[in-house]
Structure 1
Amino acid sequence: MSRHILPPKAGHPDVICAAVGWDRPLQTYYAQVCFRTDDEPDEGEALIWRGTEPGELPTPEAAIAVITPYAEIPPRLAEQLLADMTATIGEKDGRHQAEVKRRLFGSIH
C-alpha cells in the first residue's frame, strides 16, 4: 500500500489534509480528505474516503479527481501513483488477507 499526504488548498481551513495511494489487496487507488471536526479538531476525520471496494478507483486520475477540489496536487502525482501500483505486480495476498477478502467479498480477487 502506498500513501501520499497532500496539503490543503488555500481557502479550505476546514481541511487538514488529503491522501491518495494504491491499495494492492483491494486492487484500487484510494482517496481521503480529512476535515477538522469538533471531535477531531487537530487530526481531522476522513469524511471523504473513496477506494474502499475492490477496483473502485481504477486509475490514478480517478483518485486524484476526488481530492483535487481540496488539495494541492503535485505535477507528477499520477505518474508516482502508477509506479506505486506497478511495484506491486506479482505480489500475492497472504493467507490472512485472502481469508478476509473471502469473508467480505466472497472472493480473493
Structure 2
Amino acid sequence: MSRYSLKPLSHRADLFEVAVGWDAGLSTYFAIVFGAPEIACEPEVLLWRGRTFSEICAVGELIDIVVGIAEVTPELRFRLDADRSAEPSSLGTKLS
C-alpha cells in the first residue's frame, strides 16, 4: 500500500489533510479527506473514496476527486502508477 499526504489548497482552511494512494489488497486507488480537527479531537473523515474492491481503477479518476481541494504535483500521477505496478493486486492469484 502507498499513501501520500497532499496539502489542502489555501482556500480550503476547513481541511486538515488529503491522503491518496494505492491499496493492492482492495485493488483500488483511494482518497481520504480529513477536516480540520477541533481542540483535543481527531480530524473528522469528510470523504473516503476507494474503500471497496476496485472502486477507483484509474489514476485520472483519483486525481479528479482531489484536484479542486489539494495541491496535486505533476509527478504524483507517475508515482501512483509506479506504486500500482510495483504492488499489483494479489486478488485472483493462485495460492500455493
TM-score when normalising by structure 2: 0.84
- Give the structure 2 partner of residue 35 of structure 1: 35
**Partner Cα separation in structure 2 for residue 37 and residue 5 of structure 1:** 16
Extract unaligned runs of 5+ from structure 2: 92-96
**Partner Cα separation in structure 1 for residue 25 and residue 39 of structure 2:** 31
Q: Name the structure, 1 or 2, with higher relative contact order (CA <8 Å, separation 6+).
A: 2
**Partner Cα separation in structure 2 for residue 71 and residue 49 of structure 1:** 15
**Partner Cα separation in structure 1 for residue 45 and residue 6 of structure 2:** 14
Deviations 1:7-38 (A, max 9, x none): 01011110111011000010000011111254
- Give the structure 2 partner of residue 57 of structure 1: 56
Extract unaligned runs of 5+ from structure 1: 94-109
**Partner Cα separation in structure 2 for residue 88 and residue 46 of structure 1:** 26
* Distance change in 2, residues 1:74/1:13 (3 Å): same
Are the counterparts in 1 of residues 16 and 37 from structure 2 also a CA contact under 8 Å? no
**Partner Cα separation in structure 2 for residue 35 and residue 6 of structure 1:** 13
**TM-aligned CA deviation for residue 70 of structure 1:** 1.0
Amino acid at match of 1:67: V
**TM-aligned CA deviation for residue 46 of structure 1:** 1.7
TM-score when normalising by structure 1: 0.75
Identical amino acids, percent of aligned pairs: 35
- Give the structure 1 partner of residue 75 of structure 2: 76
Structure 1 runs of 4+ aligned residues shifted over 6 Å read none
**Partner Cα separation in structure 1 for residue 55 and residue 32 of structure 2:** 13
